[in-house]
Structure 1
Amino acid sequence: MIGDVTNKQLPVNVFSLLLAHLKTLIEARLEILLEKKNDVQPPDLSIPKGYIPLDLFFENYNPDFQEVTTLSLALAPHIQTDFFDNILKEHFPDGNQFPAFGGVRGKNHRGILPTGETAQFIIAGNDLAKRIAVQSLFGPEHWFATDSILRLETVPTGEPVMSGRLILDPEWLERIITGTVSLPRFSPSFPAEQLQNALEWEDLVLPQSTLKQVRELLTWIEHREAIQGHEALQKHLKPGYRVLFHGPPGTGKTLTASLLGKAAQRPVFRVDLSMVVSKYIGETEKNLANLFDKAANKDWILFFDEADALFGKRTEIRDARDKFANQESAFLLQKVESFPGLVILASNFKNNMDEAFARRFQSIVYFPSPDAEHRLLLWQSIIPKQLKLDKGIDLKKIADTYGFSGSNIVNIVHYCSLQVLSDGSKMLGADLLTEGIRREYRKEERLS
């Protein structure tokens, strides 16, 4: 995997040379066929050196002539919109079509977009054996596919497969052109948002047994490649790591997931299940496939909060809906098992999870309600240091008396802080804190 790079060099000259070399290659092929010359190999397509994203790409994949040519064809219209039209106009000034060249027009783009047939024509001409070899570039085992770099657009039934457009993955396109990749934004096509917070690992208040299991996840992230690449282990291990966080609400499951990513320097995406699950048959699987395909080959952590909605126990089949619901669960199980990264499922109740999922977790981490000792630590860490406490406030007594979770305490402190700011004071009075506690109890219907 090529990491994001910062490249101060403007790529204009590099891409100008790339397009010039590609044009020379295309014109050589056209001259061979149109003038009926001997079908000699057109000149090699060389890539200029000195532009960091391309240099890293070639160092990582070491592409051959066919692969370089196909990638350059897919990249060309993103750099110069009329690139292919200008070349063909030189040879067909009257606008005569040349089907052997391939290419299609887009819905918005008015220029020629290259297809698999374009790659076959430029690389192989009329050589059938070479044309078939070009087709193999788009097989599922080629690195174009395994690393989600380049693919052929699916064509209508009955049309030649190679007539599909060459589609360069948007992230790879951005990486090659700018040297960086933007993280995806929350949208229907990517129903997940990045978890971020200003807290640090030291702010996490959990029992030592829970912290120990959480640190094991950091160990896996750090040594993942070594473990999964170990000759003796890889044949027994499935890709990725699956863990279940379970426990009462407000005990730190989401916070722990975000801090894991922060400590490991990995983005954490919380999946919005309301946008994934659909009442329409087949749509849930489609949404899940899009999500996992987007996250494939990334160092991302996927976090499914309230995962019972998708990973809950499968039911007996009483009607068609039960049948398709179980199919959704099976499909999800398949996607989770094949995902090479860390997948965290969070649930308030472990028993709600389907046993088929539970057996496949490498780790199950329990987040208990905090005891008095941990509640005191939470009160002390959450109350802002700038806030002076009334002498009548005994945090230890409050921690012993009220069985709040971390999220409850955050809500109480938030309310009290707003009131203090509103009054223009820096003192948190005992009466105000008592009122904040009563409000939180009322909200949870513990107190009338």
Structure 2
Amino acid sequence: MNYILNYLKAQFNFQLDALFQSENPTEKPVFSQLDTNTFVGEFIIENRLSETDVIVLALALVPHVKPDFLSSIIAEYLPNGGELPEFGGIKSKNHRGILPTGETAQFLIAGNDLDARISFYTYLHNHSWLYQKGIIRIDAVSFGEPKLSGLLILEEEYIEKFITGKILKPQLSSVFPAQLIETDLVWDDLVLNSTTLNHIKEIETWLKFNDTLLHDWNMKSKIKPGYRVMFYGAPGTGKTLTASLLGKYTNRDVYRIDLSMVISKYIGETEKNLSSLFDKAADKDWILFFDEADAIFGKRTNVRDAHDKYANQEVSYLLQRIENHPGLVILASNFKTNIDTAFTRRFQSIIEFEVPSFSERLQLWENNLPKNISIAEDVNLKELSKKYEITGANIVNIIQYACLKTLEHNNKSINLNHLLQGIKKEYTKEGKMM
């Protein structure tokens, strides 16, 4: 980290000495081999960053490790205070130093050379690996202000990576309406019919070999980016677990979108919320899982008033974003017919999650009952499986209920009565009669 800071300081001195026509100007620093023992050095070498990207990265990182870095440099050249528009930078509400802007990066790379400044603008937007990957960005500015006057931002997860070595996974919040979902279960815990499992294996194959297909086989110009899948079926049939297992076994994070935080009654806000989410996910290799997706991807209606018009515009916008998203998007719904046909035509796969059959229910009972406590002799799992047509989620809830009752009464085994009570609770929740 010290080498990066010293190199950045020397680059500032080089440009500022030229601007102030110093009698003993600093020579242009030469970028040399980095120490791979630092997290930032390892990242730069691993991704073969250009010297320009290294400078921009260091500039975006410096306020987070040395808050007075930029203000102390300015003080050397303007000890009595004053303005230096070429330098860029802004003051914030909480930070007491100077925060870098795109203009600061432009000055650091190009100084006052007009052609070089224009070249940097072009480089940043068309060639910078950091900018293309969304690792650094320029914050939006008010209408009419120069774009590069926006704050130079390093994505939060990378700040954590360069300081601690660990990528900070985004948390559910008003600015990130999605939650990481994980599972300790394995594929064998997912009890589905063979047809559904085969369709799921197709998704896993895409996740493993998509990059090879697009780049090594040169199919990028012929195949649209991303993969769009619809899961439909009754609640509790394994849709969320399937998404979690796909992420687990392909080493990808799965984010379940909280639609309550996305949907807004205000015109344009829903699109804005989803745009922010898709922008953040574009280069992250995440799996996006929209549960109960018909709330936002439902059928478009005939236009009767302004509300219908904007609702239809929302669906059209979502269709466009999903179609252009380079990763895996899973929409889950209880009913296939609830989703607008404009979406279904663009899915690579539509997978039904059926209520488990007798044999599947039996397997679910056997898989989920605890192994370290016995089952009472009057419990006949085959009979329970045949008599009660319930889902895997129901069975897990019933077993949990029966286990807690067993512990409460200090019983030595799980008895039939407690299991039947649990089944009755599940039926009552769903408004069904036993």
The alpha-carbon distance between structure 1 residues 397 and 59, as it changes in their structure 2 partners (threshold 3 A), is: same
Tell me the equivalent position of 1:10: none
Tell me the equivalent position of 2:248: 262
CA positional deviation for 1:295: 1.7
The alpha-carbon distance between structure 1 residues 222 and 413, as it changes in their structure 2 partners (threshold 3 A), is: same
CA positional deviation for 1:46: 4.2
SS at 1:242 equivalent: strand
Which stretch shifts more, 142-151 or 279-288? 142-151
Task: Please say if residues 231 and 332 of structure 2, whose CA atoms lie closer than 8 Å, have aligned partners that are also in contact.
Answer: yes
Counterpart among 317, 328, 345 of residue 359 in structure 1:
345
Query: Partners of 1:286 and 1:140 in 2: how far apart?
Result: 24
Counterpart among 123, 139, 145 of residue 109 in structure 2:
123
Tell me the equivalent position of 1:243: 229
Which stretch shifts more, 285-294 or 384-393? 384-393
Q: Is 1:415 the counterpart of 2:384 in the alignment?
A: no
| TM-score, normalised by the number of residues in structure 1 | 0.91
The alpha-carbon distance between structure 1 residues 142 and 24, as it changes in their structure 2 partners (threshold 3 A), is: closer
Tell me the equivalent position of 1:19: 5
Q: Which amino acid aligns with 2:393?
A: S
1:27-83 Cα shifts (integer Å, max 9, x gaps)? 222222212779998333446322353344333543334333222222222221111
Q: Is 1:83 the counterpart of 2:69 in the alignment?
A: yes
Tell me the equivalent position of 1:59: 45
Q: Report % sequence identity.
A: 48
Query: Partners of 1:39 and 1:119 in 2: how far apart?
Result: 20
Q: How does 1:167-246 map to 2 (within 5 A)?
A: 167-246=153-232
Give the unaligned 5+ runs of structure 1: 1-14
CA positional deviation for 1:146: 1.8
The alpha-carbon distance between structure 1 residues 141 and 328, as it changes in their structure 2 partners (threshold 3 A), is: farther
Query: Partners of 2:364 and 2:326 in 1: how far apart?
Result: 35
Tell me the equivalent position of 1:325: 311
Tell me the equivalent position of 1:9: none
Counterpart among 293, 296, 299 of residue 279 in structure 2:
293
1:74-110 Cα shifts (integer Å, max 9, x gaps)? 2222221111221222222111322222222122111
CA positional deviation for 1:20: 1.8
The alpha-carbon distance between structure 1 residues 38 and 134, as it changes in their structure 2 partners (threshold 3 A), is: farther
CA positional deviation for 1:232: 4.4
Q: Is 1:429 the counterpart of 2:415 in the alignment?
A: yes
Query: Partners of 1:87 and 1:178 in 2: how far apart?
Result: 26
Tell me the equivalent position of 1:447: 433
Residue-pair matches, total: 434
Tell me the equivalent position of 1:29: 15
1:123-150 Cα shifts (integer Å, max 9, x gaps)? 3232211111111233256423320022
The alpha-carbon distance between structure 1 residues 27 and 436, as it changes in their structure 2 partners (threshold 3 A), is: closer
CA positional deviation for 1:429: 2.2
Tell me the equivalent position of 1:4: none
Tell me the equivalent position of 1:108: 94
Task: Please say if residues 33 and 39 of structure 1, whose CA atoms lie closer than 8 Å, have aligned partners that are also in contact.
Answer: no
Tell me the equivalent position of 2:84: 98
Query: Partners of 2:10 and 2:56 in 1: how far apart?
Result: 15
The alpha-carbon distance between structure 1 residues 293 and 243, as it changes in their structure 2 partners (threshold 3 A), is: same
Q: Which amino acid aligns with 2:316?
A: A
The alpha-carbon distance between structure 1 residues 392 and 107, as it changes in their structure 2 partners (threshold 3 A), is: same
SS at 1:233 equivalent: coil
| TM-score, normalised by the number of residues in structure 2 | 0.93
Task: Please say if residues 32 and 38 of structure 1, whose CA atoms lie closer than 8 Å, have aligned partners that are also in contact.
Answer: no
The alpha-carbon distance between structure 1 residues 120 and 408, as it changes in their structure 2 partners (threshold 3 A), is: closer
Give the unaligned 5+ runs of structure 2: none
SS at 1:229 equivalent: helix
Counterpart among 339, 342, 348 of residue 328 in structure 2:
342
Task: Please say if residues 138 and 151 of structure 1, whose CA atoms lie closer than 8 Å, have aligned partners that are also in contact.
Answer: no
CA positional deviation for 1:183: 1.2
Tell me the equivalent position of 1:399: 385
Q: Is 1:302 the counterpart of 2:288 in the alignment?
A: yes
Q: Which amino acid aligns with 2:199?
A: Q
SS at 1:234 equivalent: coil
Query: Partners of 2:61 and 2:334 in 1: how far apart?
Result: 48
Query: Partners of 2:257 and 2:268 in 1: how far apart?
Result: 18
CA positional deviation for 1:251: 1.1
The alpha-carbon distance between structure 1 residues 446 and 51, as it changes in their structure 2 partners (threshold 3 A), is: same
Which stretch shifts more, 353-362 or 145-154? 145-154
1:161-194 Cα shifts (integer Å, max 9, x gaps)? 2222222222222223332202111111111112
- Superposed CA RMSD: 2.2
Query: Partners of 1:187 and 1:61 in 2: how far apart?
Result: 30
CA positional deviation for 1:262: 1.7
Query: Partners of 1:75 and 1:433 in 2: how far apart?
Result: 57
Would you identify which runs of 4 or more consecutive aligned residues in structure 1 move more than 4 Å? 36-41
Which stretch shifts more, 202-211 or 89-98? 89-98
CA positional deviation for 1:315: 0.8
The alpha-carbon distance between structure 1 residues 309 and 299, as it changes in their structure 2 partners (threshold 3 A), is: same
Query: Partners of 2:152 and 2:113 in 1: how far apart?
Result: 21
SS at 1:105 equivalent: coil
SS at 1:212 equivalent: helix
